[in-house]
Structure 1
Amino acid sequence: MQQARKDGRQRAALAFLDDFDRQYPGDREARILRVNCLLDLGQMGQAQTALALIPATDRSAEAIEIRGHVLAAQERWPEAIAEYRAALRASPANPLTSNALGYALLRQGQPGEAIEALKGAYDLAPRNEVVRNNLALALTVAGRRGEADALLSKVRDATEKARLRQQIAEQAALMLAPPATASREP
Protein backbone atom coordinates (compact mmCIF):
# COMPACT_ATOMS: atom_id res chain seq x y z
CA MET A 1 0.00 0.00 0.00
CA GLN A 2 2.76 2.42 0.97
CA GLN A 3 4.72 1.45 -2.13
CA ALA A 4 1.75 2.18 -4.38
CA ARG A 5 1.58 5.70 -2.93
CA LYS A 6 5.35 6.19 -3.30
CA ASP A 7 5.02 5.11 -6.92
CA GLY A 8 2.38 7.79 -7.49
CA ARG A 9 -0.47 5.30 -7.62
CA GLN A 10 -2.67 6.75 -4.89
CA ARG A 11 -5.87 5.29 -6.34
CA ALA A 12 -4.32 1.82 -6.23
CA ALA A 13 -3.23 2.42 -2.64
CA LEU A 14 -6.79 3.42 -1.76
CA ALA A 15 -8.13 0.23 -3.36
CA PHE A 16 -5.65 -1.84 -1.35
CA LEU A 17 -6.66 0.11 1.76
CA ASP A 18 -10.34 -0.66 1.18
CA ASP A 19 -9.48 -4.35 1.08
CA PHE A 20 -7.16 -4.07 4.09
CA ASP A 21 -9.80 -2.21 6.12
CA ARG A 22 -12.25 -5.07 5.65
CA GLN A 23 -9.72 -7.48 7.15
CA TYR A 24 -8.19 -5.18 9.77
CA PRO A 25 -10.64 -2.39 10.62
CA GLY A 26 -9.31 0.51 12.62
CA ASP A 27 -5.61 0.15 11.80
CA ARG A 28 -4.01 3.53 12.58
CA GLU A 29 -1.29 3.31 9.94
CA ALA A 30 -3.87 2.45 7.28
CA ARG A 31 -5.99 5.43 8.33
CA ILE A 32 -3.01 7.77 8.12
CA LEU A 33 -2.07 6.38 4.71
CA ARG A 34 -5.65 6.91 3.52
CA VAL A 35 -5.56 10.58 4.55
CA ASN A 36 -2.23 11.06 2.79
CA CYS A 37 -3.50 9.45 -0.41
CA LEU A 38 -6.65 11.57 -0.40
CA LEU A 39 -4.56 14.72 0.15
CA ASP A 40 -2.30 13.68 -2.74
CA LEU A 41 -5.39 13.43 -4.92
CA GLY A 42 -6.72 16.81 -3.74
CA GLN A 43 -9.82 15.23 -2.20
CA MET A 44 -9.94 17.54 0.79
CA GLY A 45 -13.44 16.68 2.00
CA GLN A 46 -12.74 12.97 1.97
CA ALA A 47 -9.37 13.56 3.65
CA GLN A 48 -11.11 15.43 6.48
CA THR A 49 -13.65 12.63 6.84
CA ALA A 50 -10.84 10.06 6.97
CA LEU A 51 -8.92 12.21 9.47
CA ALA A 52 -11.97 12.24 11.77
CA LEU A 53 -11.55 8.45 12.13
CA ILE A 54 -8.17 9.00 13.81
CA PRO A 55 -8.98 9.65 17.47
CA ALA A 56 -8.08 13.12 18.71
CA THR A 57 -6.49 11.38 21.68
CA ASP A 58 -3.91 9.79 19.36
CA ARG A 59 -0.84 11.91 20.06
CA SER A 60 1.60 9.78 18.08
CA ALA A 61 3.95 11.73 15.85
CA GLU A 62 2.29 10.27 12.76
CA ALA A 63 -1.22 11.25 13.82
CA ILE A 64 -0.14 14.76 14.80
CA GLU A 65 1.75 15.17 11.53
CA ILE A 66 -1.24 14.10 9.41
CA ARG A 67 -3.39 16.66 11.21
CA GLY A 68 -0.79 19.23 10.21
CA HIS A 69 -0.93 18.06 6.61
CA VAL A 70 -4.70 18.51 6.48
CA LEU A 71 -4.39 22.00 7.98
CA ALA A 72 -1.61 22.86 5.51
CA ALA A 73 -3.78 21.68 2.62
CA GLN A 74 -6.38 24.15 3.85
CA GLU A 75 -3.67 26.84 4.06
CA ARG A 76 -4.26 27.18 7.78
CA TRP A 77 -0.56 27.80 8.32
CA PRO A 78 -0.44 28.84 12.01
CA GLU A 79 -2.41 25.75 13.04
CA ALA A 80 -0.34 23.50 10.75
CA ILE A 81 2.86 24.93 12.25
CA ALA A 82 1.63 24.12 15.75
CA GLU A 83 0.85 20.53 14.75
CA TYR A 84 4.21 20.05 13.01
CA ARG A 85 6.04 21.39 16.06
CA ALA A 86 4.11 18.98 18.27
CA ALA A 87 4.93 16.11 15.89
CA LEU A 88 8.62 17.03 16.06
CA ARG A 89 8.50 16.99 19.84
CA ALA A 90 7.18 13.43 19.57
CA SER A 91 9.71 12.41 16.87
CA PRO A 92 12.55 14.95 16.59
CA ALA A 93 14.56 13.06 13.96
CA ASN A 94 11.84 12.97 11.28
CA PRO A 95 13.16 14.93 8.29
CA LEU A 96 9.79 14.96 6.53
CA THR A 97 8.11 16.60 9.51
CA SER A 98 10.91 19.18 9.69
CA ASN A 99 10.44 19.76 5.97
CA ALA A 100 6.69 20.22 6.38
CA LEU A 101 7.28 22.63 9.27
CA GLY A 102 9.79 24.60 7.22
CA TYR A 103 7.45 24.89 4.26
CA ALA A 104 4.55 25.96 6.49
CA LEU A 105 6.77 28.60 8.14
CA LEU A 106 7.78 29.84 4.71
CA ARG A 107 4.15 30.10 3.62
CA GLN A 108 3.39 31.93 6.86
CA GLY A 109 6.01 34.53 5.91
CA GLN A 110 8.74 33.44 8.29
CA PRO A 111 11.66 32.57 5.98
CA GLY A 112 14.33 32.75 8.71
CA GLU A 113 12.58 30.15 10.85
CA ALA A 114 11.76 28.15 7.72
CA ILE A 115 15.44 27.98 6.79
CA GLU A 116 16.36 26.65 10.22
CA ALA A 117 13.70 23.92 10.09
CA LEU A 118 14.66 23.02 6.53
CA LYS A 119 18.37 22.92 7.35
CA GLY A 120 17.51 20.47 10.11
CA ALA A 121 15.57 18.37 7.62
CA TYR A 122 18.42 18.57 5.10
CA ASP A 123 20.96 17.48 7.71
CA LEU A 124 18.80 14.43 8.42
CA ALA A 125 18.07 13.63 4.76
CA PRO A 126 20.68 15.26 2.50
CA ARG A 127 19.64 13.19 -0.52
CA ASN A 128 15.94 14.05 -0.29
CA GLU A 129 15.18 16.23 -3.30
CA VAL A 130 12.00 17.74 -1.84
CA VAL A 131 13.86 18.87 1.27
CA ARG A 132 16.71 20.28 -0.83
CA ASN A 133 14.33 22.14 -3.12
CA ASN A 134 12.31 23.59 -0.24
CA LEU A 135 15.51 24.75 1.44
CA ALA A 136 16.64 26.39 -1.81
CA LEU A 137 13.24 28.07 -2.08
CA ALA A 138 13.41 29.37 1.49
CA LEU A 139 16.95 30.67 0.94
CA THR A 140 15.80 32.42 -2.24
CA VAL A 141 12.80 34.00 -0.53
CA ALA A 142 15.12 35.21 2.25
CA GLY A 143 17.37 36.87 -0.34
CA ARG A 144 20.16 34.35 0.17
CA ARG A 145 20.47 33.39 -3.50
CA GLY A 146 24.16 32.50 -3.25
CA GLU A 147 23.42 29.82 -0.67
CA ALA A 148 20.49 28.57 -2.76
CA ASP A 149 22.72 28.37 -5.85
CA ALA A 150 25.38 26.50 -3.88
CA LEU A 151 22.77 24.01 -2.75
CA LEU A 152 21.45 23.53 -6.28
CA SER A 153 24.97 23.19 -7.66
CA LYS A 154 24.86 19.63 -6.28
CA VAL A 155 22.32 18.73 -8.98
CA ARG A 156 24.43 17.09 -11.68
CA ASP A 157 22.04 17.21 -14.63
CA ALA A 158 22.32 20.69 -16.17
CA THR A 159 18.80 20.60 -17.63
CA GLU A 160 17.30 19.56 -14.31
CA LYS A 161 19.32 22.21 -12.49
CA ALA A 162 18.07 24.93 -14.85
CA ARG A 163 14.49 23.70 -14.48
CA LEU A 164 14.75 23.74 -10.69
CA ARG A 165 16.27 27.22 -10.64
CA GLN A 166 13.44 28.50 -12.84
CA GLN A 167 10.77 26.80 -10.75
CA ILE A 168 12.24 28.11 -7.49
CA ALA A 169 12.53 31.63 -8.90
CA GLU A 170 8.87 31.55 -9.97
CA GLN A 171 7.67 30.22 -6.61
CA ALA A 172 9.78 32.75 -4.72
CA ALA A 173 8.36 35.57 -6.82
CA LEU A 174 4.83 34.42 -5.98
CA MET A 175 5.64 34.27 -2.28
CA LEU A 176 7.26 37.69 -2.32
CA ALA A 177 4.47 39.35 -4.31
CA PRO A 178 2.18 41.59 -2.28
CA PRO A 179 -1.22 40.02 -1.62
CA ALA A 180 -3.87 40.93 -4.12
CA THR A 181 -6.40 43.38 -2.81
CA ALA A 182 -9.96 43.65 -3.91
CA SER A 183 -10.55 46.72 -6.00
CA ARG A 184 -13.06 49.15 -4.64
CA GLU A 185 -15.29 51.07 -6.94
CA PRO A 186 -16.52 54.50 -5.87
Structure 2
Amino acid sequence: MLNIRQITGAALKILVYFLKIISVSVFICYSALASQEIISMPNTNIAPSVEDQNVGNFPIRFNLITLASYIVGQSIIFKLFIKNISQSDLTISVARNVPDYDVIVLDSQGTLVWRCKDDSEIVRLGMDEDQTIAGGQVWEFRCTWKQNNQNAGAISPGLYIAKASLLVNESNIFSVVRQFNIK
Protein backbone atom coordinates (compact mmCIF):
# COMPACT_ATOMS: atom_id res chain seq x y z
CA MET A 1 0.00 0.00 0.00
CA LEU A 2 1.21 3.51 -0.85
CA ASN A 3 1.62 5.98 1.94
CA ILE A 4 1.03 9.71 1.77
CA ARG A 5 4.77 10.50 1.36
CA GLN A 6 5.07 8.27 -1.70
CA ILE A 7 1.95 9.79 -3.28
CA THR A 8 3.14 13.32 -2.50
CA GLY A 9 6.63 12.57 -3.87
CA ALA A 10 5.20 11.10 -7.07
CA ALA A 11 2.82 14.04 -7.45
CA LEU A 12 5.68 16.51 -7.00
CA LYS A 13 7.78 14.71 -9.61
CA ILE A 14 4.89 14.85 -12.06
CA LEU A 15 4.27 18.51 -11.27
CA VAL A 16 7.98 19.38 -11.79
CA TYR A 17 7.97 17.42 -15.05
CA PHE A 18 4.93 19.39 -16.36
CA LEU A 19 6.40 22.70 -15.20
CA LYS A 20 9.58 21.93 -17.17
CA ILE A 21 7.50 21.14 -20.25
CA ILE A 22 5.47 24.33 -19.83
CA SER A 23 8.57 26.51 -19.27
CA VAL A 24 10.30 25.04 -22.35
CA SER A 25 7.11 25.59 -24.40
CA VAL A 26 6.83 29.19 -23.18
CA PHE A 27 10.52 29.79 -23.98
CA ILE A 28 10.12 28.36 -27.49
CA CYS A 29 6.99 30.46 -28.15
CA TYR A 30 8.65 33.61 -26.78
CA SER A 31 11.78 32.99 -28.87
CA ALA A 32 9.70 32.53 -32.00
CA LEU A 33 7.76 35.73 -31.34
CA ALA A 34 10.93 37.66 -30.58
CA SER A 35 12.53 36.41 -33.79
CA GLN A 36 9.49 37.50 -35.79
CA GLU A 37 9.63 40.96 -34.20
CA ILE A 38 13.31 41.27 -35.05
CA ILE A 39 12.75 40.07 -38.61
CA SER A 40 9.82 42.42 -39.21
CA MET A 41 11.33 45.40 -37.39
CA PRO A 42 12.73 47.96 -39.85
CA ASN A 43 16.42 48.73 -39.45
CA THR A 44 16.51 52.30 -38.21
CA ASN A 45 20.31 52.50 -38.34
CA ILE A 46 20.58 52.67 -42.13
CA ALA A 47 21.66 56.08 -43.41
CA PRO A 48 18.78 57.95 -45.04
CA SER A 49 18.64 58.31 -48.80
CA VAL A 50 18.92 61.92 -49.94
CA GLU A 51 18.82 61.26 -53.68
CA ASP A 52 17.38 58.46 -55.84
CA GLN A 53 19.36 56.14 -58.08
CA ASN A 54 20.00 57.13 -61.70
CA VAL A 55 20.41 54.01 -63.82
CA GLY A 56 19.15 55.27 -67.16
CA ASN A 57 17.14 52.64 -69.01
CA PHE A 58 18.81 49.64 -67.36
CA PRO A 59 16.34 47.33 -65.55
CA ILE A 60 18.49 47.30 -62.43
CA ARG A 61 18.34 48.54 -58.87
CA PHE A 62 21.62 50.02 -57.65
CA ASN A 63 21.73 50.60 -53.93
CA LEU A 64 24.38 51.89 -51.54
CA ILE A 65 24.01 50.93 -47.88
CA THR A 66 25.83 52.34 -44.86
CA LEU A 67 24.89 53.15 -41.30
CA ALA A 68 23.47 56.51 -40.25
CA SER A 69 26.09 57.28 -37.63
CA TYR A 70 29.69 56.44 -36.83
CA ILE A 71 32.24 57.35 -34.17
CA VAL A 72 35.37 59.29 -35.19
CA GLY A 73 38.07 56.81 -36.19
CA GLN A 74 35.70 53.89 -36.79
CA SER A 75 36.05 52.10 -40.16
CA ILE A 76 33.04 52.71 -42.37
CA ILE A 77 31.82 49.94 -44.65
CA PHE A 78 29.89 50.82 -47.78
CA LYS A 79 27.97 47.98 -49.43
CA LEU A 80 26.85 48.21 -53.04
CA PHE A 81 24.05 46.03 -54.37
CA ILE A 82 23.29 45.76 -58.05
CA LYS A 83 20.16 43.76 -58.81
CA ASN A 84 18.67 42.83 -62.15
CA ILE A 85 15.00 43.55 -61.46
CA SER A 86 13.79 42.03 -64.70
CA GLN A 87 12.96 38.37 -65.28
CA SER A 88 15.43 38.16 -68.17
CA ASP A 89 19.18 37.91 -68.26
CA LEU A 90 20.91 41.25 -68.81
CA THR A 91 24.23 41.42 -70.65
CA ILE A 92 26.32 44.43 -69.75
CA SER A 93 29.81 45.50 -70.68
CA VAL A 94 31.98 45.96 -67.57
CA ALA A 95 35.68 45.79 -66.70
CA ARG A 96 37.05 42.30 -67.24
CA ASN A 97 37.90 41.09 -63.71
CA VAL A 98 35.90 43.43 -61.43
CA PRO A 99 33.17 45.85 -62.46
CA ASP A 100 34.38 49.44 -62.39
CA TYR A 101 32.58 50.76 -59.32
CA ASP A 102 33.44 53.60 -56.99
CA VAL A 103 32.17 55.21 -53.79
CA ILE A 104 32.94 58.83 -53.04
CA VAL A 105 32.48 60.67 -49.76
CA LEU A 106 31.76 64.41 -49.70
CA ASP A 107 31.73 66.70 -46.68
CA SER A 108 28.79 69.01 -45.90
CA GLN A 109 30.22 71.67 -48.29
CA GLY A 110 30.31 69.16 -51.17
CA THR A 111 34.12 68.81 -51.14
CA LEU A 112 35.52 65.40 -52.11
CA VAL A 113 37.00 63.81 -48.99
CA TRP A 114 37.66 60.21 -50.08
CA ARG A 115 37.12 57.84 -52.95
CA CYS A 116 37.17 54.04 -52.88
CA LYS A 117 39.14 53.69 -56.12
CA ASP A 118 42.07 55.64 -54.68
CA ASP A 119 42.12 53.47 -51.56
CA SER A 120 41.36 50.10 -53.12
CA GLU A 121 43.86 47.29 -53.55
CA ILE A 122 41.77 45.85 -56.40
CA VAL A 123 43.45 46.10 -59.78
CA ARG A 124 40.88 46.55 -62.49
CA LEU A 125 41.84 45.51 -65.99
CA GLY A 126 41.18 48.21 -68.55
CA MET A 127 39.59 45.85 -71.05
CA ASP A 128 35.84 45.50 -70.98
CA GLU A 129 33.93 42.29 -71.52
CA ASP A 130 30.30 41.35 -71.61
CA GLN A 131 28.99 39.81 -68.41
CA THR A 132 25.53 38.48 -67.76
CA ILE A 133 23.54 39.25 -64.67
CA ALA A 134 20.62 36.83 -64.49
CA GLY A 135 17.06 37.94 -63.83
CA GLY A 136 16.75 38.59 -60.08
CA GLN A 137 20.49 38.10 -59.49
CA VAL A 138 22.35 40.45 -57.12
CA TRP A 139 25.99 41.51 -57.29
CA GLU A 140 27.50 42.84 -54.08
CA PHE A 141 30.64 44.93 -53.61
CA ARG A 142 32.23 46.59 -50.58
CA CYS A 143 34.48 49.51 -49.85
CA THR A 144 35.93 50.31 -46.43
CA TRP A 145 36.84 53.85 -45.46
CA LYS A 146 39.15 54.37 -42.50
CA GLN A 147 38.00 58.00 -42.10
CA ASN A 148 41.03 59.55 -43.70
CA ASN A 149 40.98 62.33 -46.28
CA GLN A 150 42.73 62.23 -49.65
CA ASN A 151 45.99 63.35 -48.00
CA ALA A 152 45.77 60.48 -45.44
CA GLY A 153 44.86 62.99 -42.72
CA ALA A 154 42.12 62.60 -40.14
CA ILE A 155 38.66 63.97 -40.88
CA SER A 156 36.45 66.07 -38.62
CA PRO A 157 33.15 65.05 -37.05
CA GLY A 158 30.15 66.18 -39.05
CA LEU A 159 27.66 65.36 -41.77
CA TYR A 160 28.87 63.49 -44.87
CA ILE A 161 27.37 62.26 -48.15
CA ALA A 162 28.23 58.96 -49.89
CA LYS A 163 27.61 58.34 -53.60
CA ALA A 164 28.36 55.24 -55.64
CA SER A 165 28.82 54.82 -59.37
CA LEU A 166 29.27 51.90 -61.73
CA LEU A 167 30.63 52.05 -65.27
CA VAL A 168 28.26 50.02 -67.46
CA ASN A 169 28.34 49.99 -71.27
CA GLU A 170 30.72 52.99 -71.17
CA SER A 171 28.23 55.08 -69.14
CA ASN A 172 28.16 55.79 -65.43
CA ILE A 173 25.08 54.83 -63.47
CA PHE A 174 24.57 56.12 -59.95
CA SER A 175 23.22 54.55 -56.77
CA VAL A 176 21.02 56.19 -54.20
CA VAL A 177 22.92 58.85 -52.26
CA ARG A 178 23.23 58.37 -48.49
CA GLN A 179 23.77 60.93 -45.77
CA PHE A 180 25.57 59.87 -42.56
CA ASN A 181 27.03 61.47 -39.48
CA ILE A 182 30.42 61.10 -37.82
CA LYS A 183 30.42 62.00 -34.12
Structure with greater strand percent: 2
Give the number of the structure with larger relative contact order, counting CA–CA contacts within 8 Å between residues 6 or more apart: 2
TM-score bin (small chain):
under 0.3
Structure with greater helix percent: 1
- In our comparison, the structure showing a higher alpha carbon Rg is 2
TM-score using structure 2 length: 0.21
